[in-house]
């Protein structure tokens, strides 16, 4: 009987020990699965966060591209405006040259030596002024104000000297 009791105790210990192992294995598997699930959830959150950041960057780039397009459009409009003002300036100065030429011709018609000498000097200055105007297309927006000031000053001085 003692042997049976020993065998029964041994069998019970084996069964209980086996169940305990299975319980530990089961808990370990559950723990591993929970950790894996947490890693997946963490990675999913990171992907979502990165995706949102990428979308924000795309939106920012789209806004910048739109701004660049607007600025390019503004630049083109400014260049057209400058070209139109340049053309208007050239027409105005050509009109002034025509009036100067007519006035120089009147001075030359006076016929005396002093008038002819004066007309020659004025014509030389008028030719120099015309040469400046021939290079109006070479001027950029940056040096346009200086150019027009120089030409206008030359015109004013020549017109004043013609009147005197």
User: CA 121 from chain center: how many Å?
Assistant: 51
Provide the pLDDT confidence category of residue 137 given band limits of 50, 70 and 90.
confident
Residue 13: HSE in the Cβ half-sphere, 13 Å Cα cutoff? 6
Residue whose entry in the numeric block shows the structure tokens 């139109």: 84
pLDDT at 62 over 70: yes
Q: Higher pLDDT residue, 42 or 15?
A: 42
DSSP 93-117: HHHHHHHHHHHHHHHHHT-SHHHHH
User: HEC profile for 3-67?
Assistant: HHHHHHHHHHHHHHHHHHHHHHHHHHHHHHHHHHHHHHHHHHHHHHHHHHHHHHHHHHHHHHHHH
pTM greater than 0.85: no
* pLDDT for position 83: 86
Q: How far is CA 17 from CA 6, 9, 28, in A?
A: 16, 12, 16
């Amino acid at each position: 009987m003692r042997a049976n009791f020993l065998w029964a105790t041994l069998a019970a210990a084996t069964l209980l020990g086996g169940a305990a192992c299975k319980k530990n294995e089961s808990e370990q598997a559950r723990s591993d699965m929970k950790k894996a699930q947490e890693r997946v959830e963490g990675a999913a959150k990171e992907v979502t966060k990165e995706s949102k950041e990428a979308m924000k960057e795309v939106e920012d780039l789209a806004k910048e591209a739109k701004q660049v397009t607007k600025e390019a459009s503004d630049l083109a409009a400014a260049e057209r405006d400058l070209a139109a003002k340049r053309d208007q300036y050239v027409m105005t100065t050509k009109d002034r040259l025509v009036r100067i030429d007519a006035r120089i011709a009147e001075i030359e018609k006076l016929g005396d030596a002093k008038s002819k000498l004066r007309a020659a000097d004025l014509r030389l200055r008028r030719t120099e002024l015309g040469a400046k105007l021939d290079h109006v297309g070479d001027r950029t927006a940056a040096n346009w104000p200086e150019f027009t000031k120089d030409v206008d000053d030359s015109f004013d001085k020549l017109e004043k000297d013609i009147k005197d």
